[in-house]
Structure 1
Amino acid sequence: MGPDSSQDAQTVSQVGEFGLIDRVTTGREQPAGTLLGPGDDAAVLAAPDGRVVATTDVLVEQVHFRFDWSAPRQVGRKAVAVNLSDIAAMGAVPTGLLVGLACPPDSSTELVDELFGGMWEEAQAVGAGVVGGDVVSATALTISITALGDLQGREPVTRAGARPGDVVAVAGRLGWSAAGLAVLGRGFRSPVAVVGAHRVPEPPYAAGPLAAAGGATAMVDVSDGLLADLGHVAAASGVGIDVRTEQLDVPQRLLEVGSALGADARHWVLTGGEDQALAATFPAEAALPEGWRAIGAVTAGGGVVVDGAEYEGPSGWQHWR
């Protein structure tokens, strides 16, 4: 959907609520599982499994993203990715998205076009679609997305099934987004690889269903930081988790960026959020599925330690802290 230059110069207040909805939905191809898409009071999606996995995230300008650091299309992709990674963390596959957008009346239609363009790109990459939502006026641009998923006959993998003796493993990148945030915070725009990782995460979507099929006992997406999110697994399962640094991959590029900024790259890997990696526990006798690598073990007791000792400093992001 390519708006012309005259449309690009308009604001959302000029095109109105329904004109804006038409812009971001018309001409988009829905996946086969969307039985009734945008345009009615509600959408209708097929649910072959008979169960629906659902999750919601809210992203607020200047809290979760900045348009001087990220292009609107990148923000759109990120907004979808943080939701779809939660679907993958349950062992499910995405089916559809409901998008709520609140924005100031003087927001340009070009900005909204690009936001939704990024959302559609990320959704269609995993076979999902934007099936409905709402747009309203507000003083700060806010994106609220509800993602839906299908378990394909598998049981959901929750945070509560880890057992002492299980292997702790991760899939996806760790620390890259935190490194990119540190670079941007210092006023730089490179290295492109780490800055790009902060702007648009690359969740290992397929690794979630693979883990479920491979016997994962618990799983979580790494949105707030590895130690913080493993802490949720430990608490829900009533176990301890020991992360072993000799098993952690600290990429050379992160070491280089850390050296340049006077920062500890290992800290980014342990506590950095927004890479939307997946962390899971597996029975010790099970072979790890493709894309998964061991980083520690589940123990009796409680809490998360690093090499057997409590980690000093914040373990990840917390709102209102």
Structure 2
Amino acid sequence: MKQTKLNAAGRIGRRRFLAGAGAGVAAAASGGLLAPGMALAQGFPDRNIDIIIPTGEGGGADRDARAFASIWGNHLPTNFQFGYYPGAAGQVGYEFYMSREPDAYSLIFANLGPEVIMLELQGTGITVGKDIVYVQQTLSEPMAVWVGPHSPFRTLEELVEEGRRRPLTVAVSRLPHPASIGMLALGEELGIEIILVPYGGGNATAMAAITMEVDCAALPVTNSIVLADQSLVLGVFAKENVAPEGTDNAPTVNAALGTSLPALTSSRAWGVHRAAYDAYPERVAALVQSMSATLADPAYVAAVEGTGVPPVFIDPGNEAEAMASAQATIELARRYRDLLTGS
């Protein structure tokens, strides 16, 4: 896998806590399995499965999709081809995906938070449920605000105090994003000015924080975890920090600042054309069965851990759960539309 490494040294605390974090994940996933022994659709698949990723190669979606596919191949007798279509906050990838033949041989690997917000706000003409169905959720993680190792800010309170004197610049991977909502809502509640600077991907966003081109970064928390000593997490947009040893024991944003912001998370999920979902239910069932088997496979936990992602973020969810995550994000986008669009 082609992946940019920003630091070769690992933070001991961040790595040690991963060792036992995957316990129970396979058992949790097994509840979503279809009936044991269900046969794959006759003759399906008889060629490669195309995986469309609406961000760049080497980013978080690529990392997570490849970790999944490395085990998925043990449960679905085929090979996987990856295509990357970044641009316009994911719109380019989704439009390309919709141009593909809806035959269940093409899937989209979605980052539900930013991409569902994008679909809601950018007038793409692509509607969740009507055009795309998310059939399997794999991972979920909260958003975090963090700084580079040489930043003068060592706590969230210090960052906010600086924001009372001048506008704060915040690197984000794309403007339609749960992390963007978190920072804009934080600024609105505290009366400080937040200037979002989109960098078009997690790696570039991280580098901007590390080199102090900006005051801080706001991204899914895994991005900071894999950076080890190159990042210092100041706060997590969640009700609870479930990975304290991997995140410098960072507080939640609400606990640190007394705010009342919503929990902001994003889930990875596999999506399929609605037309394929309706026309080829047996193929979709075969895909979902093998996805569920992958999530229940202990080897998947090891694959996730091998990428540096805490297994505690593995979050198996069936179609109903994945679509509920998408709908919750749509409602969040509507709630914060004015902040995200500047209207």
Q: TM-score range by the shorter chain?
A: under 0.3
Q: Which structure is higher in helix share?
A: 2
Q: TM-score, normalised by structure 2?
A: 0.24
